[in-house]
Amino acid sequence: MIDFTIPDDIQQQRKLFEMVARDVMRPIARYYDEHEHEIPWEYVNRMWPLVKMEWAQRVTRAERQLAGEKKEKKEQKSGKRKYYPNLQLVHMVEMLCWGDAGLYLCTPGPALAGFAIDAAGTPEQKVRLLKRFAEGDPKWGAMAITEPGAGSDVSAISTTAVRDGDEWVINGEKIFITNGWLALEASDGLVVVWATVDKSAGRAGIKSFIVPAGTPGAKVTKREHKLGIRASDTAALVFEDCRIPLDNILGSPEVQRREDKRGFKAAMQTFDMSRPVVAAGAMGVARAAIEFVKEKLAEQGIDIPYGVPKHKLSAVQRDVLEMEAQYKMAWLLTVRAAVMTDERQPNALQASMAKVKAGKAVTWITQKAVEILGPLGYSTEYLAEKWMRDAKINDIFEGTGQINTLIVARRILGYSSRELK
């Protein structure tokens, strides 16, 4: 039987992050929406000790893996509950985005770079690279994939990495990189750069590389102004003869011409891990909108009855019930995809399903919230209009809704990317 009970430790964690969301994020949400590109140090400094603790645990697990996982296997035999880091993560992200989605994206830590390192890195690399996020001052990670000529089609990446002795030389341009400036210029962070080592090899030639902050040849050329999630740092990066050590390629340093696609597949697994997290963020925004609408309706004496036939409900009551239903459907898909990651089960289909549903649901829910609230919902007196602006990005980044719908269709129907476009 499926058990939807939230484990006690995750419930305690949710209470902690609810305090951060309510007491730290909500009060400053409007300010940082209107002061784009300022670092929200009130939030960053509150979160950094918690982030360091989480990544210290992940580093410990990577060290166990290096040691043959003997201790972990012993714990499993002793009957201790299995560790579910991704389930914890989606609960944390949902709660923080209930506080504010833009501020959440400023959370210090490896972010998407961490997913890439976990998906494609060797145990040695996981320990070496992630350990920097378990100590010291706040720092950020970023993942650089999108290019002017390669958006949804990741296989069209043109950024190159050429081996020169004991180094890789990277050249290319990346755009719309979350935390790009924070990772490269505002902290001692790092960026995971996707580049091709052999264009003629197609997808097989695409690899992921670690570029630490301060590396000559890596620079930020632009910081975007956006419709929503304005507190979030979004940057364009350029790599000009950017040299990194040979072992900064994620995975094996040995790259052979026209090898199998393990490098590309490992990189794509990053999305299988990150898409449920994006979906969770969307659910936090959706829940904020639903709760606020119900609160304002209650002030007007309008309750939301359950178990009543639709024809006996008002149009507004039906809308709110549909908002809740859409939220719960997307949330269950999100939790399933996250748990599958923790169980080391393939979840490409489930991750894309969660991402598609969450993106569509939060967009509709927040628009409906503004509609129900009327002119005040459209004004800056409420955060509802901000939630509507913040919501749309969830249908765009980490693979657009259209691309993820294609992935779902291909997986269900058994078609390849060449057969179904």
- As a whole number of angstroms, the distance between CA 21 and CA 31 comes to 15
- As a whole number of angstroms, the distance between CA 206 and CA 209 comes to 10
Environment class of 259 (CB within 10 Å of its CB; exposed 0-12, middle 13-18, buried 19+): middle
Q: Point out the catalytic residue in the list 94, 224, 385, 398.
A: 398
Reduce the secondary structure of 168-206 to three states and give it as a string: EEEEEEEEEEECHHHHHCCCCCEEEEEEECCHHHHHHHE
Element (H, E) at 27: helix 26-34
- As a whole number of angstroms, the distance between CA 388 and CA 379 comes to 12
Spell out a b/e string for 381-403, using b for 16 or more CB atoms within 10 Å of the CB, else e. Answer: ebbbbbbbbbbbbbbebbbbbeb
Concerning whether 398 is annotated as a catalytic residue, the answer is yes
* Contact call for residues 282 and 337 (beta carbons, < 8 A): no
Residue 324: how many other CB atoms lie within 10 Å: 17
Residue 15: how many other CB atoms lie within 10 Å: 10
- As a whole number of angstroms, the distance between CA 259 and CA 236 comes to 31
* 405 alpha carbon, distance to own chain's centre: 18
| Cα→Cα distances 256→43, 160, 253, Å | 45, 15, 10
Inter-axis angle of helices 111-120 and 41-66, nearest 10: 10
Task: Look at residue 209 and give its three-state secondary structure.
Answer: strand
Tokens 């249908």 -> residue: 395
- Sorted by sequence, the CB contacts under 8 Å of residue 401 that are 6+ apart come out as 355, 356, 359, 360, 395
Tokens 């994939």 -> residue: 145
Catalytic residues: 398
